[in-house]
A and B are shown apart, each in its own frame.
Chain A
Amino acid sequence: MHDYTIPIGPLHPTLKEPMCIRIGLEGSVIKQANIRMGYTHKGIEKILEGKNPDSALYISQRICGICSAAHENAYTRTVEGILGFEAGEKVKLLRAMMMELERMHSHLLWLGIIAHEIGYETLFMYFWREREKILDVFEKIAGGRVHHNFNKIKTVRYDLEHDDKRFILKRIEDVRKSIYPYISEIKDDNVIKARLKGVGVIDNVDARRFCLIGPNSRASGVSSDIRKIDPPYGIYDEFEFDEIVLDKGDSFERTLVRLKEVLESVKILKQILDKMPETKIPNFTFTTVPDDDGIGRVEAPRGELFYFLKFKDNKIVRAKIRTPTFGFLKILEKILIDQRIGDVPVLVASLDPCFSCLERIMVVKDGKTETLNEKDFRRRYVCTR
Chain B
Amino acid sequence: MYKIIFFLSVPFLALLYEGVLRKINARFQNRIGPPVLQPFYDVLKLFSKKKMKSQNDPFFKYSPILYFISLYALFLFIPFSIVSFEHDFIFVLYLTILASAFYVLAGLSSDNPFGIIGSAREMILMIIYEITLVITVFSFVMKAGVISFGDFNSRLLILTLPISSLGLFVTSMIEVHVTPFDTTEAPTEIMGGSRTEYSGTNLAFMNMSMSLKRLFFALLLPMLFFGKDIITLLPLSILFLFLYTLSQATTSRYRVDQVFKVYSIIMFLVLVEFILVMWGVRWV
Interface residues of A (CB under 8 A from B): 4, 6, 12-14, 28, 115-123, 125-126, 129, 189, 191-192, 194-195, 340-345
Q: Check A122 against B254 for contact (C-beta < 8 Å).
A: no
B25 surroundings in chain A (CB, below 8 A): 121
A120 surroundings in chain B (CB, below 8 A): 179, 251-253
Q: Check A14 against B189 for contact (C-beta < 8 Å).
A: yes
A119 surroundings in chain B (CB, below 8 A): 179-180, 182, 186, 188, 251-253
Contact A122 B29, CB 8 Å, known A12-B191, A341-B189: yes
B189 surroundings in chain A (CB, below 8 A): 14, 341-342, 344-345
Q: Check B255 against A343 for contact (C-beta < 8 Å).
A: yes
A115 surroundings in chain B (CB, below 8 A): 252
Q: Is the CB of B28 closer than 8 A to any CB of chain A?
A: yes
B47-106 at interface with A (beta carbon < 8 Å) = none
Pick the contact of A116 from B117, B188, B257 — CB < 8 Å?
B188
Q: Check A342 against B183 for contact (C-beta < 8 Å).
A: yes
Q: Is the CB of B113 closer than 8 A to any CB of chain A?
A: yes
Q: Check B29 against A118 for contact (C-beta < 8 Å).
A: no
Pick the contact of A129 from B28, B30, B117, B179 — CB < 8 Å?
B30
Contact A195 B254, CB 8 Å, known A13-B188, A119-B188: yes
Query: Which of B251, B252, B257 counts the most A-chain CB atoms under 10 A from its CB?
Result: B252
Q: Check A28 against B117 for contact (C-beta < 8 Å).
A: yes
- Shortest distance from the beta carbon of B108 to any chain A beta carbon, whole Å: 13
Contact A191 B252, CB 8 Å, known A28-B117, A117-B188, A345-B189: yes
> Which 8 pairs show the lowest CB-CB distances between chains A and B?
A119-B253, A120-B252, A125-B29, A6-B113, A118-B252, A342-B255, A345-B188, A122-B249
A12 surroundings in chain B (CB, below 8 A): 191
A121 surroundings in chain B (CB, below 8 A): 25, 29, 248-249
- Shortest distance from the beta carbon of B50 to any chain A beta carbon, whole Å: 22
B243-271 at interface with A (beta carbon < 8 Å) = 248-258
Q: Check B190 against A341 for contact (C-beta < 8 Å).
A: yes
Return 16 A-B CB contacts under 8 Å, by A number.
A13-B187, A118-B253, A119-B186, A119-B252, A121-B29, A122-B29, A122-B250, A125-B30, A192-B252, A194-B254, A194-B255, A340-B255, A340-B256, A341-B117, A341-B190, A342-B189
Interface size class of B (residues with CB under 8 A): 20 to 34
B113 surroundings in chain A (CB, below 8 A): 4, 6
CB-nearest residue of chain B relative to A14? B188
CB-nearest residue of chain A relative to B28? A122
- Shortest distance from the beta carbon of A2 to any chain B beta carbon, whole Å: 13
- Shortest distance from the beta carbon of B34 to any chain A beta carbon, whole Å: 14
Q: Check A191 against B191 for contact (C-beta < 8 Å).
A: no
Whole-angstrom CA separation of A48 from B12 in the bound complex: 58
Pick the contact of A342 from B186, B248, B250 — CB < 8 Å?
B186
A189 surroundings in chain B (CB, below 8 A): 251-252
Whole-angstrom CA separation of A69 from B120 in the bound complex: 46
CB-nearest residue of chain B relative to A115? B252
Q: Check A342 against B256 for contact (C-beta < 8 Å).
A: yes
A343 surroundings in chain B (CB, below 8 A): 255
- Shortest distance from the beta carbon of A178 to any chain B beta carbon, whole Å: 12
Q: Is the CB of B114 closer than 8 A to any CB of chain A?
A: yes
CB-nearest residue of chain B relative to A340? B255
CB-nearest residue of chain B relative to A129? B30
B191 surroundings in chain A (CB, below 8 A): 12-13
- Shortest distance from the beta carbon of B208 to any chain A beta carbon, whole Å: 22
Q: A13-B187, A126-B30, A342-B189 are in contact. List 18 more A-B contacts (CB 8 A).
A: A4-B113, A6-B113, A6-B117, A28-B256, A115-B252, A119-B179, A120-B251, A121-B29, A121-B248, A126-B29, A189-B252, A192-B252, A195-B252, A341-B117, A341-B189, A341-B190, A342-B186, A344-B189
Whole-angstrom CA separation of A4 from B248 in the bound complex: 32
- Shortest distance from the beta carbon of A188 to any chain B beta carbon, whole Å: 12
A118 surroundings in chain B (CB, below 8 A): 252-253
B251 surroundings in chain A (CB, below 8 A): 119-120, 189, 191
CB-nearest residue of chain A relative to B185? A119
B152-190 at interface with A (beta carbon < 8 Å) = 179-180, 182-183, 186-190
- Shortest distance from the beta carbon of B166 to any chain A beta carbon, whole Å: 17
B28 surroundings in chain A (CB, below 8 A): 122
- Shortest distance from the beta carbon of A259 to any chain B beta carbon, whole Å: 16
A117 surroundings in chain B (CB, below 8 A): 188
A344 surroundings in chain B (CB, below 8 A): 189
CB-nearest residue of chain A relative to B250? A122
Whole-angstrom CA separation of A28 from B256 in the bound complex: 10
- Shortest distance from the beta carbon of B256 to any chain A beta carbon, whole Å: 6
CB-nearest residue of chain A relative to B251? A191
Q: Check B117 against A195 for contact (C-beta < 8 Å).
A: no
Query: Which of A129, A340, A342 counts the most B-chain CB atoms under 10 A from its CB?
Result: A342
CB-nearest residue of chain B relative to A11? B191
CB-nearest residue of chain B relative to A27? B120
Query: Which of A120, A189, A343 counts the most B-chain CB atoms under 10 A from its CB?
Result: A120
A126 surroundings in chain B (CB, below 8 A): 29-30
A28 surroundings in chain B (CB, below 8 A): 117, 120, 256
Whole-angstrom CA separation of A191 from B253 in the bound complex: 7
Query: Which of B189, B255, B258 counts the most A-chain CB atoms under 10 A from its CB?
Result: B189
A14 surroundings in chain B (CB, below 8 A): 188-189
Query: Which of A12, A118, A340 counts the most B-chain CB atoms under 10 A from its CB?
Result: A118
- Shortest distance from the beta carbon of B155 to any chain A beta carbon, whole Å: 34
A122 surroundings in chain B (CB, below 8 A): 28-29, 249-250
Q: Check A191 against B254 for contact (C-beta < 8 Å).
A: yes
A13 surroundings in chain B (CB, below 8 A): 187-188, 191
A194 surroundings in chain B (CB, below 8 A): 254-255, 258
Whole-angstrom CA separation of A343 from B253 in the bound complex: 11
Whole-angstrom CA separation of A342 from B258 in the bound complex: 11
B29 surroundings in chain A (CB, below 8 A): 121-122, 125-126
CB-nearest residue of chain B relative to A185? B250
- Shortest distance from the beta carbon of A135 to any chain B beta carbon, whole Å: 16
B182 surroundings in chain A (CB, below 8 A): 119
Whole-angstrom CA separation of A344 from B29 in the bound complex: 25
